[in-house]
Structure 1
Amino acid sequence: MHMDLVAALDIGGTKIAGALVDDRGRILLRAQRPTPAQEDGDTVMGAVEAVLDELAASPLWSGARAVGIGSAGPVDRLGGTVSPVNVPGWRGFPLVSRVRSHVGGLPVELVGDGVAMTAAEHWQGAARGHDNALCMVVSTGVGGGLILGGQLHPGPTGNAGHIGHISVDLDGDLCPCGARGCVERIASGPNIARRALSDGWRPGPDGDASAAAVARAARAGDRAAVASFERAAQALAAGIAATATLVEIDIAVIGGGVAKAGEVLFAPLRRALRDYATLSFVQRLEVAPASTGTDAGLVGAAAAALRMGARAGEAHPQAV
């Protein structure tokens, strides 16, 4: 009988995934529903409840001690609310209280999806064994989270480490967040593609204009494609170096769809990092691809809930 289980939720604009996870990070049961992202808030909540109900129908549910939620943000960990940009029906939505009441009062821990990925990478992935780390998701947006002093550092609202909205170009393009020259405005997948197109790159016969297509073109030597990835790498390097200088991280882990470009991204990133991380205490900063894959959100949400339990003297994550 598995006694130290948590129910994990990974909530995004496309899908709501759920799992029962043990204290070694093993997923024992899964459930999933599409996110009705354009519907009203209660309809979206209904999909969350359907995932929880499917998990609760298992005999394993009796071992669940808490619920961990990693959600697209912004999130407010203190208020227990979420306002995902890509789920317009949820604005200040009281997700924690709604989930808690649905699961009979179990404790609920809420973090942003970047923080959840960070928890997963520190527990099971590339940041394992590092006491001070920045973990990033570079995809449609750019998010992240921090490990400081060996502990997940979500910050008061659950958004600490949101590197995508560090400004690295003071006179740069206006970002949807309201600032200029944000890392996300340069290094996210859509913005990599946008820059490549504006510089003359053209999609192939299939019409694929994604960052993945730009990466393929860069591997084949297309100058505009290479230049767009180099610019993205420079923005990421500036943001990573600023973070490392501020809090002395020793590794930056990068996941998300853009990281799948491999050396098209990582080679210029490591070169650019040498130009930005120049002080003696950040010169040995390591950069690595994430390794927890598509389960990072679930494993990280579980890790956040287990760490919450550890603070209360209950379950705690174990090494694999």
Structure 2
Amino acid sequence: MHTYLSAALDIGGTKIAGALVDGTGRMTARVTRPTPADKDGATVMRAVAEVVGELTADPGWARVATVGIGSAGPVDASAGTVSPVNIPGWRDFPLVAGVRELVGERPVVLVGDGVAMTAAEHWQGAARGRANALCMVVSTGVGGGLVLNGQLHPGPTGNAGHIGHISVDLDGDLCPCGARGCVERIASGPNIARRALANGWQPGPDGDVSAAAVGAAARAGDPVALRSFERAAQALAAGIAATATLVEIEIAVIGGGVAGAGDILFTPLRAALRDYAKLSFVADLTVVPAQMGTDAGVVGAAAAAAQQSRLEAFLPTL
């Protein structure tokens, strides 16, 4: 039996999830709240407090040794603050201090949600056993994280591996981050749909203009929908190849809603990767779907906290 548990929070624009996670990756308790619609800073923090309150009431709380937070970003782990794009009421919000008030003396570790997903996939998912990996979430945005030399590499602020804001089109569209031609501006779900609509794709009778609807049209053979996914795949391949060239990753793991398109995304992505990953030390790079699904945020936040806090009960299985 593992002596310690790690408590974890996964905070995003849609939901706030919390869990107690043991040293095998099993969740012994799980709580979810919708992120308040008005996204006022104090209101969102109250929802976080409700989630933490339910966790502290669980009998397993007495064995919790550390608390991990995976948050939509940007985050600043060194300052303990978050400024999620999709939670406008939080700008340089002191989330770590707020959570620490709720959990007592336990150490609190903050990472970006892409880094949390990476920790989960390396511990229990598609990157398990790999020493060097890039894990990505391709959804409303594009985020990611790195494992280097067998260890999660969050970087000083908890944002390392944020592949969504590598520029792959130097004269491309302006990204909300302020740069041009970012991977996210081309490959995220809303941008796949935006590009398809701009090039003449017609949604079905239900009027669904989501990336999932574009994916369904692509599977049915719609050429405009297919080209929009191929363009997204090309941008992802360029970003993955650049990352691999810099740090010699051996595997790229892709999750998130857009990855749910399956071969519509992965087939052109693997083909494009062969065009960009040409050097001998990146030529064998593999790309696979993520395995952890919706549990990745909380399991990964627990893993990141355990690693940084050096919990003996977790380390053998991380």
Shared fold by TM > 0.5? yes
Paired residues for 1:251-262 under 5 Å: 251-262=251-262
Number of aligned residues: 318
Tell whether the 8 Å contact from 2:234 to 2:273 is kept in structure 1 after alignment.
Answer: yes
TM-superposed deviation, 1:109: 0.5
TM-superposed deviation, 1:40: 2.6
Could you tell me which residue of structure 1 aligns to residue 274 of structure 2? Answer: 274
**Unaligned ranges ≥5, structure 2:** none
Paired residues for 1:283-298 under 5 Å: 283-298=283-298
Which residue type is aligned with residue 316 of structure 1? F
How many Å separate the matches in 2 of 1:9 and 1:67?
8
Which residue type is aligned with residue 3 of structure 1? T
TM-superposed deviation, 1:101: 1.5
TM-superposed deviation, 1:316: 2.3
Deviations 1:3-48 (A, max 9, x none): 3101110000111000010011100101111111524322211111
Deviations 1:237-277 (A, max 9, x none): 00000000000000000000000000000000000000000
Could you tell me which residue of structure 1 aligns to residue 5 of structure 2? Answer: 5
Could you tell me which residue of structure 1 aligns to residue 21 of structure 2? Answer: 21
How many Å separate the matches in 2 of 1:187 and 1:234?
9
Tell whether the 8 Å contact from 1:145 to 1:159 is kept in structure 2 after alignment.
Answer: yes
Give the alignment's Cα RMSD to 1 decimal: 1.2
How many Å separate the matches in 1 of 2:73 and 2:10?
12
How many Å separate the matches in 1 of 2:43 and 2:266?
41
Could you tell me which residue of structure 1 aligns to residue 317 of structure 2? Answer: 319
Could you tell me which residue of structure 2 aligns to residue 250 of structure 1? Answer: 250
Could you tell me which residue of structure 1 aligns to residue 48 of structure 2? Answer: 48
**Unaligned ranges ≥5, structure 1:** none
Change (3 A) 1:39 1:272: closer
* TM-score, normalization by structure 1: 0.97
1:57 and 2:61 correspond: no
How many Å separate the matches in 1 of 2:106 and 2:60?
15
Which residue type is aligned with residue 219 of structure 1? R
Post-superposition, which runs of at least 4 consecutive aligned residues in structure 1 deviate over 6 A? Answer: none
Tell whether the 8 Å contact from 2:66 to 2:305 is kept in structure 1 after alignment.
Answer: yes
Could you tell me which residue of structure 2 aligns to residue 170 of structure 1? Answer: 170
Deviations 1:138-189 (A, max 9, x none): 0000000000000000000000000000000011000000000000000000
* TM-score, normalization by structure 2: 0.98
1:91 and 2:91 correspond: yes
Could you tell me which residue of structure 1 aligns to residue 219 of structure 2? Answer: 219
How many Å separate the matches in 2 of 1:132 and 1:192?
29
How many Å separate the matches in 2 of 1:274 and 1:314?
41
Could you tell me which residue of structure 2 aligns to residue 78 of structure 1? Answer: 78
Could you tell me which residue of structure 2 aligns to residue 239 of structure 1? Answer: 239
Tell whether the 8 Å contact from 1:214 to 1:225 is kept in structure 2 after alignment.
Answer: yes
Could you tell me which residue of structure 1 aligns to residue 152 of structure 2? Answer: 152
1:111 and 2:150 correspond: no
